[in-house]
Amino acid sequence: MRKLVVGSRRSKLALTQSQQFIDKLKAIEPDLAIEIKEIVTKGDKIVDKQLSKVGGKGLFVKEIQQELFDKEIDMAIHSLKDVPSVIPQGLTLGCIPDRELPYDAYIAKNHIPLDQLPDGSIIGTSSLRRGAQILSKYPNLEIKWIRGNIDTRLEKLNTEDYDAIILAAAGLRRMGWSDDIVTTYLDRDTLLPAIGQGALGIECRSDDNELLELLSKVHNHDVAQCVTAERTFLAAMDGSCQVPIAGYATINNSDITFTGLIMTPDGTERYEHTEHGNDPVALGKKVSQVLKDQGAYEIIKRLNEQQ
Full set of structural domains in the chain with CATH: 1-97+198-219 (3.40.190.10), 104-186 (3.40.190.10), 221-306 (3.30.160.40)
Minimum mean pLDDT range among 58-67, 162-171, 283-292: 58-67
Question: What is the pLDDT confidence band of residue 241, given thresholds at 50, 70 and 90?
Answer: low
Distance of CA 305 to the CA centre of its chain: 24
What confidence tens digit (pLDDT) does each residue in 19-31 have?
Answer: 999 999 999 999 9
- Of the residues 31, 48, 82, 163, only one is catalytic, namely 82
pLDDT of residue 240: 63
Question: What is the pLDDT confidence band of residue 301, given thresholds at 50, 70 and 90?
Answer: confident
Between residues 95 and 149, which one has the greater pLDDT? 95
Question: What is the pLDDT confidence band of residue 239, given thresholds at 50, 70 and 90?
Answer: low
Q: Is 222 a catalytic residue?
A: no
Q: What pTM does this model have? A: 0.91
HEC secondary structure over 236-295: HCCCCCCCCEEEEEEEECCEEEEEEEEECCCCCCEEEEEEEECCHHHHHHHHHHHHHHHC
pLDDT of residue 85: 87
Mean pLDDT across 177-186: 94
pLDDT of residue 43: 52
Question: What is the pLDDT confidence band of residue 134, given thresholds at 50, 70 and 90?
Answer: very high
Give the mean pLDDT of the chain: 91
pLDDT of 114 above 90: yes
The neighbour count for residue 158, using CB atoms within 10 Å, is: 8
Gyration radius from the chain CA atoms: 19
Mean pLDDT across 280-284: 98
Backbone angles phi, psi at 277, to 5 degrees: 175, -175
What confidence tens digit (pLDDT) does each residue in 58-96 have?
Answer: 566 888 999 999 999 999 999 999 898 889 999 999 999
Tell me the Ramachandran region of residue 295: left when phi exceeds 0, alpha when psi lies from -120 to 50, beta otherwise: left
Mean pLDDT across 223-232: 97
What confidence tens digit (pLDDT) does each residue in 41-55 have?
Answer: 655 544 444 544 444
pLDDT of residue 24: 95
Mean pLDDT across 193-216: 97
pLDDT of residue 297: 87
pLDDT of residue 46: 47
